[in-house]
Amino acid sequence: MKRKRKVTTLFISITLFILLLLLFPTWTPKIDGENSIAILESIEINGTELEVMIRGVDRNNPIIIFVHGGPGCSEIPYVRKYQDLLEEHFTIVHYDQRGSGKSYRFFEDYSTISSDQHVEDLLALTDFVRDEFSQEKVLLIGHSFGTYIGMKAPDKVPDKYAAYIGIGQVSNYMNSEVDSLNYTMSEANKAGNQKDVDKLKLLEDSIKIGSTYPKRYGSEVWRGIAVN
């Protein structure tokens, strides 16, 4: 009897949650000012829908496109915590990359996503923003994995970007993975966890030659970085 009650309660909770999502979709607070902009909406980019948030006190200010990290680590949910001062001087564009956050579509196949696809999406978004705000160039900021995408886009089409800023810049991916492996083994040794040390040692040779990738990067996205 108790089990049935728990299942019923869980079902009701899930149903109410879904109804709330349908009745009260995500939104971004308005910004005071006649020429301000504060929108959160889906935009069609290269055959898929990407969630885009654009905020700024004056839509005529210089534009910043922010490329989030991950892969798959949307930053839209919390960026307003630190970008309020930037919004006074820039129009800031955040977007969820293909397959991330609110850009995820349940029936789309994301198994073949590559870093090149993310670059093409960024270039298309750049064109959309330039046309929307009638500006010739935009500023580009990349964070973590987004720095790789952020470097590749202006490398292909430099005339569309005024400047690029990297935060937590990705450089030599293979060396970074070896450094991470060595650090993890060192910490496991300090903790006396020989079992984990032995498991990590089994990965050492394959990581050094690039045939094995840590699970957090187990996709064609990071495989593309190692190759390129």
Which residue type is seen at 12? I
Q: Count CB atoms within 10 A of the CB of residue 168.
A: 11
Query: How much is the average pLDDT of 74-101?
Result: 91
φ, ψ of residue 227 to 5 degrees: the values are -75, -40
Phi and psi of 50, rounded to 5°?
Answer: -110, 135
- Comparing 82 with 67, which gets the higher pLDDT? 67
Paired sense of beta strands 91-95 and 63-67, if any: parallel
Q: What is the pLDDT of residue 11?
A: 75
- Cross-strand bridge partners of residue 41: 52
Half-sphere exposure of 117 (CA within 13 A, CB side): 18
What are the tens digits of pLDDT across the range 158-203?
A: 999 999 999 988 877 778 778 888 888 899 889 998 988 888 888 8
Question: Two tokens at 57?
Answer: 């006190």
Sequential DSSP letters for 160-210: GEEEEEEES----HHHHHHHHHHHHHHHHHHTT-HHHHHHHHHHHHHHHHT
Q: Which of 8-22, 131-145, 168-182 is the least confident region? A: 8-22
Structure confidence by residue, pLDDT tens digits, 39-61: 999 999 999 999 999 999 999 99
Q: Cβ–Cβ contacts within 10 Å for residue 215, how many?
A: 6
Q: Is the pTM of this model over 0.85?
A: no
**Residue 5 banded pLDDT, cuts 50, 70, 90:** low
Give the pLDDT of residue 226.
44
Q: Specify the pLDDT at position 162.
A: 97
Q: Which residues, at least 6 apart from 125, have a Cβ–Cβ distance to it below 8 Å?
A: 43, 45, 50, 52, 65, 93, 95
The reported pLDDT for the residue numbered 223 is: 44
Q: Closest by alpha carbon to 92, among 78, 80, 74?
A: 80
The pLDDT, as a whole number, for residue 54 is 97
Average pLDDT, stretch 139-154? 94
Q: Looking up tokens 């810049």, which residue turns up?
A: 169
Per-residue pLDDT band for 221 (boundaries 50, 70, 90) equals very low
**Whole-angstrom distance, CA of residue 93 vs CA of residue 127:** 13
- Give me Rg for the CA atoms of the chain: 21
Distance (Å, rounded) from C-alpha 82 to C-alpha 68?
A: 15
Highest mean pLDDT pick, 4-13, 24-33, 76-85, 199-208: 76-85
